[in-house]
Structure 1
């Protein structure tokens, strides 16, 4: 064990613009959410490895002697899954094709990365606890933030990457090469959980800020402003697969109608990217926020044309507009979550009243920000206590 104790966090994600159009070769902008997942890893001498996931009421522990036979030889390839190890783990955990629940997938991802990184030698005793500010199943990248934390924590503990140099009182980040390795292993965790992910969620969790996604190519944008938002979960369940299929069906039936809409969504993403770049290179003005608000309104209308709106999202937009705020869905639509832009001058009373009205609709609502840092390691005891106090009992 190269590191015997560490605390790591990674952000969730939201799509700012480009939902659904990205499936058809258009630009999407993904941004980090300042709602984070935290991992605490400790080396133990108990002869066991355990994982505690309080958000989903799960605590599991295994004897190292039971895990050691699962790895017949070292496999530390971050670019592809080891199907034999994954198969043995699925049998060990008792996961079948009809039992793909959150607990099982989280367990598989943890054990896979743990055994891949430590399986070449004697397995170390570990106690791992992961807890989150992110709701699960809401399209906010909770599983990716989990996978990024696992990858960063286990890579650091195994010595595959060094602990980052830092000021003891502040979070620290790794260098580019180490971040790429974290992202690669996090992507394997996402593949175990989701099957065929795009890689956007784990990339946002790793690098933070904003990413430009186009035709499978992910480009982190080096400088973006930190924007305040309200994040609202309508708690209306939706099927991403069905919503994506619905857009494809519309495109097949009405190509001359839908193709221009997709081109317009692409233009929204590119215009937003240009505006945000201006906000980092020149003084931010009210006009910048006017443009961002107009783009939000137009994009929400476009998404409704594509058939991925929902009455709950219409309510969100109507309620926030009564307070002078502009909202759009984020992610698959059909319910799920929405984001509301807050201007720098937005009064705290306006935010408070808006949250109250949204909660009266039965929604969950958080004031947070987008564009913040990616995966970090926290070190000082005071930082740890601040995190635990903010998140409450685990």
Structure 2
């Protein structure tokens, strides 16, 4: 195993979007989350002897530590390291002090550093010595947009550190460009990635890291996560309105509306739940590369759910504008995530002309939005040979 990764390898994990069920899921309804083929990449190489280095150019982190000082820190706080046990406040305080992170600091640089240190020490405590590694992580995902960027980071870290410590195999054979781990190994990766998410978010649902680990699509209801039997790869536009919003405030607003008008709002939640379940049935019936006739029903689900989300009070003028722009090109959109701005997804049926897609993208960018043409239903965490990565990813990783 060591021989393979000594030449350098890369790990990638996808982001996620909610297709249907946002907000309703808070009230016990079904949500469908799918893997987004915008990915986070981690390059793994042996570090200088006795050194651990981590570089995250996207959030301005470049840190390195001596392995003896990490071992000493691990010895002081290692009592409760376990893949099923939340990081303790004492452990996190000790890590903050060690890394010089101010109490209460919640910027992506501080949280990413904290998650790295916790996962490095916890995984090495369970499976071996603190490894001398050089890790660079770069993402195609914007941070703070509800697209699972922190979970993709945690999944990549878990896979890389577990592999270096010998807890999981290095499945990439000589001459192969990509490989994936066994189901049992993916479960271990997911468990540790969830701990990384707990460091960053406190009390996450576990959906984002599960999507990052397994890919495809997952059904989530009342804490239970179930992978869909199979899911087609669908082309979409993902658009970030760049309008900031507070998920906490939006969730509280929906709750208030339900308490105020239960006879009106509960049927809306029931309808969103029905859309999620109907959509699951349609997706599981669709072939891997679906033809255009499968799309009209999915487009209707988008339209109906977008109206429901406006009724719940989580729409925004920027999202209305986005839906109008894409409708003018014959395309159907809905918000994804918390709403109130943030991101939206637009279905691209296979018979959509490239000219229409390009025109829609130009019009969306003219509104001040950021737009990506990508896919949903992407594969989960994957091991790559460095030579198989595209030029842009290789360039960023090699510059750091």
Q: TM-score range by the shorter chain?
A: over 0.9
- Comparing 296-305 with 61-70, greater Cα deviation is found at 61-70
Query: Counterpart of 2:83?
Result: 78
Deviations 1:96-141 (A, max 9, x none): 4431111111001101111112236543221110001001111100
Q: What is the aligned counterpart of 1:211 among 185, 194, 218? A: 218
Give the match's secondary structure for 2:286. Answer: helix
Query: Counterpart of 1:65?
Result: 68
TM-score scaled by length of structure 2: 0.93
Contact 1:378 1:384 in 2 (8 A): no
Contact 1:227 1:342 in 2 (8 A): yes
Contact 1:279 1:288 in 2 (8 A): yes
- Comparing 31-40 with 79-88, greater Cα deviation is found at 79-88
Query: Counterpart of 1:191?
Result: 198
Q: Tell me the distance in 2 between the aligned counterparts of 1:310 and 1:385.
A: 37
Q: Tell me the distance in 1 between the aligned counterparts of 2:269 and 2:137.
A: 39
Q: Tell me the distance in 2 between the aligned counterparts of 1:361 and 1:294.
A: 25
Contact 2:31 2:221 in 1 (8 A): yes
Evaluate the alpha carbon distance shift between residue 46 and residue 337 of structure 1 in structure 2; reply closer, same or farther with a 3 A threshold: same
Evaluate the alpha carbon distance shift between residue 125 and residue 231 of structure 1 in structure 2; reply closer, same or farther with a 3 A threshold: same
Q: Tell me the distance in 2 between the aligned counterparts of 1:127 and 1:355.
A: 38
Query: Counterpart of 1:55?
Result: 58
Give the match's secondary structure for 1:225. Answer: coil
- Comparing 117-126 with 316-325, greater Cα deviation is found at 117-126
Evaluate the alpha carbon distance shift between residue 67 and residue 285 of structure 1 in structure 2; reply closer, same or farther with a 3 A threshold: closer
Q: Tell me the CA shift for residue 380 of structure 1.
A: 5.4
Query: Counterpart of 2:245?
Result: 238
Query: Counterpart of 2:18?
Result: 15
Q: RMSD between aligned alpha carbons?
A: 2.0
Deviations 1:8-32 (A, max 9, x none): 0000000000000000010000000
Query: Counterpart of 2:384?
Result: 378
Matched, 1:35 2:35: no
Which consecutive aligned stretches of 4+ in structure 1 deviate over 4 angstroms post-superposition? 73-76, 389-394
Query: Counterpart of 2:354?
Result: 348
Q: What is the aligned counterpart of 1:104 among 107, 110, 129? A: 110
Structure 1, unmatched stretches of 5+, are none
Q: Tell me the distance in 1 between the aligned counterparts of 2:69 and 2:390.
A: 32
- Comparing 260-269 with 381-390, greater Cα deviation is found at 381-390
Q: What is the aligned counterpart of 2:366 among 346, 360, 375? A: 360
Q: Tell me the CA shift for residue 386 of structure 1.
A: 6.9
Query: Counterpart of 1:252?
Result: 259
Q: Tell me the distance in 1 between the aligned counterparts of 2:242 and 2:37.
A: 20
Evaluate the alpha carbon distance shift between residue 45 and residue 94 of structure 1 in structure 2; reply closer, same or farther with a 3 A threshold: closer
Contact 1:28 1:214 in 2 (8 A): yes
Evaluate the alpha carbon distance shift between residue 53 and residue 314 of structure 1 in structure 2; reply closer, same or farther with a 3 A threshold: same
Contact 1:312 1:335 in 2 (8 A): yes
Q: Tell me the CA shift for residue 191 of structure 1.
A: 0.5
Q: Tell me the CA shift for residue 300 of structure 1.
A: 0.2
Q: How many residues align?
A: 393
Evaluate the alpha carbon distance shift between residue 384 and residue 309 of structure 1 in structure 2; reply closer, same or farther with a 3 A threshold: closer
Query: Counterpart of 2:230?
Result: 223
Q: Tell me the CA shift for residue 379 of structure 1.
A: 1.7
Q: Tell me the distance in 2 between the aligned counterparts of 1:204 and 1:357.
A: 31
TM-score scaled by length of structure 1: 0.95
Evaluate the alpha carbon distance shift between residue 392 and residue 162 of structure 1 in structure 2; reply closer, same or farther with a 3 A threshold: closer
Evaluate the alpha carbon distance shift between residue 386 and residue 131 of structure 1 in structure 2; reply closer, same or farther with a 3 A threshold: closer
Q: Tell me the distance in 2 between the aligned counterparts of 1:376 and 1:284.
A: 24
Evaluate the alpha carbon distance shift between residue 391 and residue 366 of structure 1 in structure 2; reply closer, same or farther with a 3 A threshold: farther
Give the match's secondary structure for 1:181. Answer: helix
Deviations 1:144-170 (A, max 9, x none): 000000000000010011112557333
